[in-house]
Structure 1
Amino acid sequence: MDAAVIGKAPSTPLGEPGRAVRARELISYEPATGAEMWRGEAADVDEAVERARRAWPAWAAQPLSTRMELLRRFANEVRKDADKLAATIAREVGKPLWEARAEVDSVIAKVEVSIRSYAERTAQRKLDSALQGVMAVRHKPHGVIVVLGPFNYPAHLPNAHIVPALIAGNAVIFKPSEHAPASGEMLARCFHRAGISAAIMQCAPGGPDTGAALVGHEGIDGVLFTGSATNGIAINRRLAGRPDRLVALEMGGNNAMVVWDTPKLTDAAAIIVQSAFATAGQRCTAARRLIVKDSMYDAILGEVKALTERLVCGGPFDEPAPFMGPVIHNRAADGLTESFVYLLSNGGKAIKHLVRADEALPFLSPAIIDVTAMAQRPDVELFGPILQVIRVSDFDEAIAQANATRYGLAASLVGGTPQEYNRFWANVRAGILNWNRPTIGPSHAAPMGGVGLSGNHRPTGFYAADYCAYPVASGEMEQPRAVIGVGLK
């Protein structure tokens, strides 16, 4: 997820600029109020890695059934603390309470999905080869795994790495986003209360320096990352000379939604608005670009604008509940505002302006801008509530525009025929392709990942088991049996 500002250098590698007070002190602030949320010390990376390395062999030696049972206990601990965890997430990252509660539900659901995934994706197999004995396939954990979490889903997205990694027998060092350490610590305590030791599942808060130290530490065996392409590329470069290190990158997207012939204008508008503006546009799968057939343009944009103007933007606990909250901090709000001005100044035509009601807080209204006339459209992930619209005349042009990005996470076709969807599916480059569904909200039972700058072909979701353990092929016989049949004197 990249809170990029068009025309400016990207943020600090391995994290957004933190708000460090002293060298090791970290403070988290509530986006909706600016109040201090959490204060603590950055983790000692060497100590965390040493603890994990000492504890890992015993954890890996536990029966798989034991590890699975402990993860089920973890799910029960989250259930007990569900309201408190949801309130913490809502306060710390600004999302509405209803959305934070849905995130906690996803944390709980991930356990059974991961158990089913591990059984399906890493099942033990034995092939009897008669005189050649048995060929067995089993899986081993990697060792000590670093999980780097994002701020937008501070519990669910890191949990989507942590749970499969623990089931497979790895030790985990989890660095939450520097903007969500309180949520990360609360999640970690649920693991500990379930009986998973604080050495096997560690929470290591800190800023970009802590993340960089973990990635480059000699004592780790892999990095599981969710975040911006800028930071993912930095991790990939850092470990390019270490093929022994597992690297799984789940990054963002400049995602496209194509609107074609459909009589269901109200439904189409709801899908577009959900995709573009849920979580204040701070989802890696959010629709950033709306590609519309000429003949549909006026009708669909009229519906989308009317619906967008009805959206309530407010604090997490406001009544009635808002549709979306603030973006994560004032720097993000400043950057998004600058980016909207850049688009306007370079050929964009505002359909709905980006409005910031209070300069002291990062609340932004949803914005829509037609960029069809722009000679060069910046291919960046604007991580906030800005939807760019492009008019096209035919379906081939729509597919070409959808592919006009270095990213490849999610894309949706709204409307169209089954034949057109088949063409869309076959020709658009993305790891998630939907028809008459939002770009957001991928299924727990499906893989989650993309191509290009959106990932490195190690999708999370249901396929997380694939990278949390490695397959070992074994030829086995109970007694040695061999002869040399040729080449002897």
Structure 2
Amino acid sequence: MTYQERISPVDGSVTWRGTFAEPQQVSLSIERGVHAMASWKGVAPEVRAGVCKRFAERLRIHARAIASMISTEMGKPYWEAESEVAAAASKVEHTLDALRSRRSIWSDENAVSESVVRFHPIGLMAVLGPFNLPLHLPGAHIVPALLMGNGVLFKPSEKAPGVGDWIQRAWDEAGLPVGVLQTLHGGAEVARQIVNSTSLDGVCFTGSYRVGAELHRMLAGRPECMLALEMGGNNPLIVDRVSNLTAALHVLIASCFITSGQRCTCARRLIVLDNAPNRDLMRRFAESIPDIRVGLPFDTPGPFMGPLVSTEAVRAVLAAEERLETMGAVPHVRCQQFTSHPNLLGPGVWEVSGEGVEDQEVFGPVATIEYVNDWDEAIASSNRTRYGLSAGLISDSREHFDRFVNEVRAGILNWNSPTTGATGKLPFGGLGSSGNHRSSGYFAIDYCSDPIASVQSPVLTQPPQLPQGLDLVFGNFRDGK
């Protein structure tokens, strides 16, 4: 048994020390989860809801400590980590509302029988969490799964194991029975062993397309195991004519560079209608880059962007910029690696043409600008990607928004709001290589339960009219005798 450590990308401190799950531990946890879930699904729904509400309370009570762990472990500014804790706590109320509106028992009666729809848990589910929102995104699956009566095996990102332990602690303090939620630390091998178990009934994953596609292949031939994938995107933001350039600048910066560009919904491609005001807006955008405060999470005054999650992430972003230059892109601003800290990276903005640019998600603070001549080109360029998670439009035109929302292919379509602007009151999911038609967010309750149909009657009666061909069978019987 080898002890592992998570070293903070912020200050080099050890944020977590422990062991990765061994194969025997994974097998035991799966067995324990199956048994614990069998009891948990029989608990009254209002009792399960009470546990979920107490979980939200624990998050609020421990909010400062959890936010500090998020910032220290993955690098985002403290103010942003506080917002993540608040969003994770609010997820409970949103899920309870989704349960009432989407998963309540309903029925329809006629003179003979009653038709009823109930919703049952799917069974034992695995949640494989990401590093970028290590509290909120796992909770987007865990909360509805537990509320519906499922058991959960949770593998946090190995880049955020301390946050994973906080999640487990908060549920334990909320009174969740032992074994219903189990946290298993580790990397890809632990995830593979969990997913390969035939006792598993569902897998929820947030991360890259490469890993999501591997999970899909692993579950090939197992249609009985539900798979929900959220796999990022190469997201476009169309810049149309606007009167408020300052507000447009805010949408651009928030879309491209929040969380240091490490959100799956960040805008990667700015599709700009070519006119003089928009050229001026792009100039202001590029000139604003040096004034965006980049620093450590607890600096005063607080930064807008913190360090990237690892030096490997920094190298990947810088390598992506090199590829852009090789393809003929022109730098307006290059990403600048801070000499004071190897994981601090300033934003980069590059101008490209529509042809020859690779369709890859660069998970960091890099945005490209592509000028187009008209609205048709803008729509075509937006859709020139195999992904389809998030897309945005900055425009004063309702007519253009109506075209945008009907013609751009993405699961999130925002107008005059950052591409990263998602709410727990709406579904969250992507099209194309961004997902597999399992929207999370408000709709996560759907894939955490199965609809069960019943036609029922408390009294057994013979139908008033027999089907043809049965008269000889039932002709001598009357009134059930």
Q: With the length of structure 1 as denominator, give the TM-score of the two structures.
A: 0.93
Give the aligned partner of residue 106 of structure 1.
87
Q: Highest relative contact order (Cα 8 Å, sep 6+), 1 or 2?
A: 1
1: CA distance, partners of 2:269 / 2:193: 36
Match of 2:48 in 1: 67
Residues of 2 paired with 1:358 and 1:54: CA distance?
Answer: 53
Deviation at 1:359, TM superposition (A): 8.8
**Aligned residue for 1:224?**
204
Shift of 1:27: 2.2
Look up the match of 1:397: 377
Letter in 1 for 2:393: L
> In the alignment, what sits opposite 1:312?
293
- Contact persistence 2:129–2:138 (CA under 8 A): yes
Q: Does 1:146 align with 2:113?
A: no
Q: Residues of 2 paired with 1:304 and 1:279: CA distance?
A: 18
Q: 1:74 to 1:228 in 2, by over 3 A?
A: same
Partner of 2:469: 487
Show CA shifts across 1:71-103 (max 9, x none).
Answer: 111111111111100000010000000000000
1:395 deviation in Å? 0.3
In the alignment, the residues of structure 2 paired with residue 26 and residue 256 of structure 1 have an alpha-carbon distance, to the nearest angstrom, of: 39
Q: Verify: 1:26 aligned to 2:26, yes or no.
A: no
Q: Any idea what SS the aligned residue of 1:470 has?
A: strand
Q: 1:264 aligns with which of 244, 257, 272?
A: 244
Distance 1:100 1:228, change over 3 A: same
**SS in structure 2 of the partner of residue 130 of structure 1:** coil
TM-aligned CA deviation for residue 363 of structure 1? 1.3
- 1:358 paired with 2:336, answer no
Q: Which runs of 5+ in 2 are unaligned?
A: 473-481
Q: Identify the residue that residue 316 of structure 2 maps to in structure 1.
A: 335
1:306-362: CA deviation from partner (whole Å, max 9, x where unpaired): 322211111111111000111110111111101101101210000001111239622
- The question of whether the paired residues in 2 share the 8 Å contact of 1:270 and 1:304 is answered with no
Tell me which residue corresponds to 1:473: 453
Contact kept in structure 1, 2:36 and 2:178, CA below 8 Å? no
Structure possessing the higher radius of gyration over alpha carbons: 2
Task: State the Cα RMSD in Å.
Answer: 1.3
Cα offset for 1:63? 0.6
What residue in structure 1 maps to residue 14 of structure 2? Answer: 36
Counterpart residue type for residue 301 of structure 1: M
- The 8 Å contact of residues 261 and 363 in structure 2, kept in 1 or not, is answered as yes
Partner of 1:349: 330
CA–CA distance in 1 between the matches of 2:410 and 2:93? 27
* 1:434 aligned counterpart, secondary structure: strand
CA apart distance, 1:217: 1.0
Separation in 2, partners of 1:439, 1:82: 26
Tell me if the contact between 1:413 and 1:421 (Cα under 8 Å) persists in the aligned partners: yes
Q: Show the counterpart of 1:208.
A: 188
Q: Cα distance, 1:416 vs. partner?
A: 4.0
Match of 2:418 in 1: 438
In the alignment, is the contact (CA less than 8 A) between 1:125 and 1:138 conserved in 2? Answer: yes
Q: Which of 136, 142, 146 in structure 2 is aligned with 1:162?
A: 142
Partner residue in 1 for 2:65: 84
Shift of residue 292 of structure 1?
0.5
1:95–1:279 CA contact under 8 A, matched in 2: yes
Give the match for residue 289 of structure 1.
269
- Whole-angstrom CA distance in 2 between matches of 1:420 and 1:178: 43
Q: Which residue of 2 aligns with 1:3?
A: none
The residue type paired with residue 280 of structure 2 is A
Q: Which residue of 2 aligns with 1:14?
A: none
Matches of 2:341 and 2:10, distance apart in 1? 10
TM-score, scaled relative to structure 2 = 0.95
Q: Are the equivalent residues in 2 in contact too, given 1:266–1:303 (CA < 8 A)?
A: no
Contact 2:230 2:430 in 1 (8 A): yes
Work out whether residues 330 and 360 of structure 1, in 8 Å CA contact, stay in contact via their aligned partners in 2. Answer: no
User: Are 1:420 and 2:389 counterparts?
Assistant: no
In the TM superposition, residue 214 of structure 1 has moved relative to its aligned partner by 0.9
Match of 1:136, SS state, is strand
Percent identity between the two aligned chains? 39
Q: Tell me how far apart the structure 2 counterparts of residues 26 and 306 of structure 1 sit (CA, whole Å).
A: 43
Partner of 1:12: none
Shift of 1:298: 2.0
Offset of 1:137 from its aligned partner? 0.3
| 1:283 to partner: Cα distance | 0.5
Given that 2:98 and 2:445 are in contact with CA atoms closer than 8 Å, whether structure 1 keeps it comes out as yes
Give the equivalent residue in structure 2 for 1:299. 280
The secondary structure found in structure 2 opposite 1:173 is strand
Which amino acid in structure 2 is aligned with residue 487 of structure 1? G
- Which secondary structure state, in structure 1, belongs to the residue aligned with residue 41 of structure 2? helix
| C-alpha distance in 2 between matches for 1:29 and 1:51 | 31
Kept in 1, the 8 Å contact 2:327–2:357? The answer is no
Contact 1:349 1:371 in 2 (8 A): yes
Q: Distance in 2 between matches of 1:102 and 1:80?
A: 14
Aligned to 1:376: 356
- Secondary structure, aligned partner of 2:443: helix
Deviations 1:123-146 (A, max 9, x none): 111110212x11100000011100
- Measured against aligned partners, the alpha-carbon deviations of 1:156-198 in whole angstroms (never above 9, x if no partner) come to 0000100000000001111000100000101110000110023
Do the aligned partners of 1:151 and 1:180 also contact (CA within 8 Å) in 2?
Answer: yes
